[in-house]
Chains A and B, each alone.
Chain A
Amino acid sequence: MGELAAFIILAIVTLLPAVVVVTSRNLVRAAMSLIPSFLGVTGLFVLLQAEFVAGIQILIYAGAIAVLILFVIMLTQGGTGTALRQVNEQQLVGGLVAGALTIALLSLFLRTPWPLVAGTLPRSNVAAVGGAFLTNFILAFEISSLVLLVSLVGALVIARREQ
């Protein structure tokens, strides 16, 4: 019962700010609404016993990406005024497409008989995640570190002012 209540509250905390993110005319308000949405997703991760993913979610999404987006909104003032039109002319079509895809996904998810397995995750799974990264998923780990390096250099080169 308590789990259900927590889930409903976290789902509302996730979805309501997401509505503000995609509809608000004020882009700063949209970017600030990303933070409670990310925190709601973090709560869902905690409910799913993924504490390490939840911590990383707070650090990277709520901490880094939201701040980065706010910085870019400040640096590109010409495009972010509330007087400007922030939506294009395909609002109706976009709403229809997104709604149709959501309904299709929902019916697909709810109809498929998932092979559910009863059981719980290891009690503290941080060490297990670290071990998995360094044994079975070592290639993905190394490649993502390479991608991080490339995107760091690439972002610096692209954003640098030409002399």
Chain B
Amino acid sequence: MQVGLNHYLAVSALLFGLGLYGILTRRNAVAILMGIELMLNAANINLVAFNRYVAPGALAGHVFALIIITLAACEAAVGLALVLAVYRNLETIHVDEINVMKW
């Protein structure tokens, strides 16, 4: 049996579901960011797999995957800086306790 496009799509769907579960159930903001990283990885698997099996002549999937990796690094840096700022001011990073807009 050959490894085909559907195998990669199945792995990426499972990874996406796991990331979504983490985002929906975690209280800790850092753990929510980890779930987001898993979902971005699932998207990257999809892009590279489609590039390989549907359009092997073009490299657009690779380029998009690289741009997503770059933006994921930006998102992690800014998100974690926000977590640090919230922790310094409110002494908590549990998102269900961060419920003030002004103090």
Contacts and interface: CB of A to CB of B under 8 A. Distances in A.
Nearest to A104: B13
Given A38-B41, A80-B28, A140-B67, A50 B19 contact: no
A115 B14 CA distance: 23
Contact of B54 (A87, A91, A116): A116
B18 A19 contact: yes
A155 B63 CA distance: 25
Contact of A158 (B1, B63, B69, B78): B78
A83 interface: no
B39 to A, nearest CB: 10
Given A98-B20, A117-B56, A76 B30 contact: yes
Interface in B57-93: 57, 59-60, 62-63, 65-67, 69-78, 80-85, 87-88, 91-93
B13 A45 contact: no
Contacts, number: 253
A154 B79 CA distance: 10
A41 B46 CA distance: 11
Contacts of A90: 24-25
B19 A18 contact: yes
Interface residues of B, number: 76
Interface-centre pick from A22, A64, A73, A158 (highest chain B CB count, 10 A): A22
Contacts of B11: 11, 14-15, 44
Interface string B26-68: 1111110111011001001100110111111101101101110
Given A97-B20, A129-B63, 6 more contacts: A22-B34, A60-B69, A94-B20, A101-B17, A102-B13, A132-B59
Interface of A: 3-4, 7, 11, 14-15, 18-19, 21-22, 27, 30-31, 34, 37-38, 41, 44-45, 47-50, 52-53, 56-57, 60-61, 64-65, 68-69, 71-73, 75-76, 78-80, 84-88, 90-91, 93-95, 97-99, 101-102, 105-106, 109-110, 114-117, 119-121, 125, 128-129, 132-133, 136-137, 140-141, 144, 147-148, 151-152, 154-156, 158-159, 161
Interface of B: 1-11, 13-22, 24-31, 33-35, 37-38, 41, 44-45, 48-49, 51-57, 59-60, 62-63, 65-67, 69-78, 80-85, 87-88, 91-94, 96
27 contacts: A15-B15, A21-B22, A22-B25, A34-B37, A41-B44, A50-B51, A50-B65, A60-B70, A60-B72, A61-B69, A68-B77, A68-B80, A72-B80, A72-B84, A75-B84, A80-B30, A88-B27, A88-B96, A94-B24, A95-B21, A98-B18, A99-B17, A102-B16, A128-B59, A132-B63, A155-B77, A159-B84
